[in-house]
A and B are shown apart, each in its own frame.
Chain A
C-alpha cells in the first residue's frame, strides 16, 4: 500500500470520538482510520482523553433493576453483540454496512462517471463516486464542507495528488478541478454536510438550512 499523506484534521477525529459527528462524516472517518494507523492512533488518543473525563465524572446512581438485568445477561447466550460487516475488497466494513451489499449499486451520471448514494440525512450525505481515468471528478459541493476519501486509483488537483487512503478536506471556497489518475478507475467516498447538488429531486425551498 502506498504511503498515506493526506490525513483527517484533528477536529474531525475529535468530533468522531466524542460522538458529535453526523453519519456521513463519521463514515469517512471510520473508512480512513480503517486503513491509516496514524489516524487510528490519534483516535485512540482522543478516546483515552474521553476515558479520563469519564473516570472523573460525577455519576448518576443506576437502578437496582439495571444491575439485575446486566448480571442476568452474563450467562444468557441469546444476547447478540452486533458486528459490523468485514471489509470487502476496496471497501472498509463501515462502507459495506452503508452499501448494504458487497458492491455499490452504481447509477450513471454521464461521461462514464457513476455514483452510488450511501446515506442522506439532515446533517449531510455520503456517496461513492466512480471516475474513469483522466476524467474530471464532478464538483458537487453546495456551500458546505466536503470530505473525499480515495478507495481506488487516485485524483489530482491544484492542491496535490490523492492516492488510496488519502482524504481531501475542501471548503466551498476551494475552487478546484480534481482529475482522476490514468493508472486506474478512481473510486472515492465523498461526504458533505450540505444537500446534494445534482440529485435534483428536492425542490430548493424544501432543502433544510444547515449549520456549518
Chain B
C-alpha cells in the first residue's frame, strides 16, 4: 500500500535525533476557555450536540473525579499537574458535518499526509500496485482524530456493506445510542481510577467499532491521534464491541508537536469480546517524548481494558511504546468467558529523561482461561522504565494458566529498569509461570555487527529489534516495519 511506504520513507528520512512529527499545523481552531468545571463539561457536551443522557453521564463522572486523587503508586515523578491550566476542547473550525474527504480542510489533509497517514481512499485504491515479492495487502480504514474531534473516517462504505460500524464515538452516541449506552463504561467503570473518571467527564472523541455476529472485519481498522493545539489535553475514548464469532484487528497511532510544556493525554479504551470473538488491538505510541534535557513531552495516562465475556473469546494487546515523557498504561484483560484467552505483547523504550510505568493485568475469572504476557523493556540515557503486571486467578478459574516473560535491556549505565510482578492466585489448580531477565547491550554484539559493515546506530537498532522480535512479530506487517524504524530512532544517540 503506497501510503504506508510513504510512512516508512518519512520515517527513514529522519535526521539525527529529531522528532520528525514535531511540526505544528496552522489552522483556525475553536478552543474552549482554560479550566475544568461543570460548565466546561456542559460546553463539551453541547459542542458535540449530545443527548441529555450523555451529559448526565459526564457530569456524574466529573463529580466522582472531584472526589478522587491522582494515583501515586506508579514509579514516575512529575511536577503537580494543574488541571485548571489546560483547554479541554479544541476543534478545527469547520462544521464537523458529513465527513467526506472533499469537505475536510485541505490543511488538515496535508498534515496527515505529512505524517504518512493514508486518508486518500481514491489514491490508495488506485495505487495498490504490489511490488514483486511482496504480498498484496489489505487497505486500512482510518479514523483521524485531530485534537478533540475526528476529522475523517475512511472506507466507511466498504465497512458498512460488511455490517461493520466504524465511526467517531461522538457520532455513535447520536446514531447508535442503544449500543453506546449498553457498553460504555461497562469495562472501565467511570470511577475506576482518577484518569478514567477525568476522561469520562471530558472525552471529546475517539473511535467506535461494532462488528456484528459472524463477521470478520474485511480490513484493518486504525485510528490516528494527533494533538496539535497548545495547552490542550487530549481525552479520547474508544469502544470496540465484537459479537459472537466475529473478529477485528485495530491499530492505533499517535504523534504531537514538539513543545516545551507538558501536555496531558488521558485515554480510555474499552473492548468487549463475545463468544468465539477475537480482538487484536495494536498500538504504536509515539507521542512527543520531550527533549534531551527532559523538557516538554506528553504525559500519557491511559486506561485500556478488554472484557472477554464470551466463551473462547480472545483479546490480544500489542503495544510499542516509544514516545511520551511519562507513560502510565496497563492494558488489561478480564477473562470471564470459559476458555477465553488474553495476550499482552509489549515493547517499551525510554531514552533521555523519559519515564514509563507500564504492564498489564490479567484477571482470570472463568475456567480454563489462559494468558500470555511478553514484555520487553529497553532503557537508555537517563530514563527509567518499570514493568508492572498483575496476574489474578479467581477461585472459580480452575485450569487457568499464565505465562509471563519480562526482559529488560539496558543501554548505558544511567538508566533504570524494574520489574514488579504481582501474582494473586486463589485457585490451587492454576499454573502461573514467570520468567524475567535483565541484560545490557553487549560490546561483543555491537562489534560483531560493525565488523560486518553496520554503523553503530544500525547495529543497536538491529540488536534491539532482535530483542523485541517476539513482540514485533505480533504486529500487523505494516506496523511492524514502522515500529522497527521507530525503535531505532528513539534510541539514536544512546550509545557511543
Q: Is chain B a partner of chain A in the same complex?
A: no
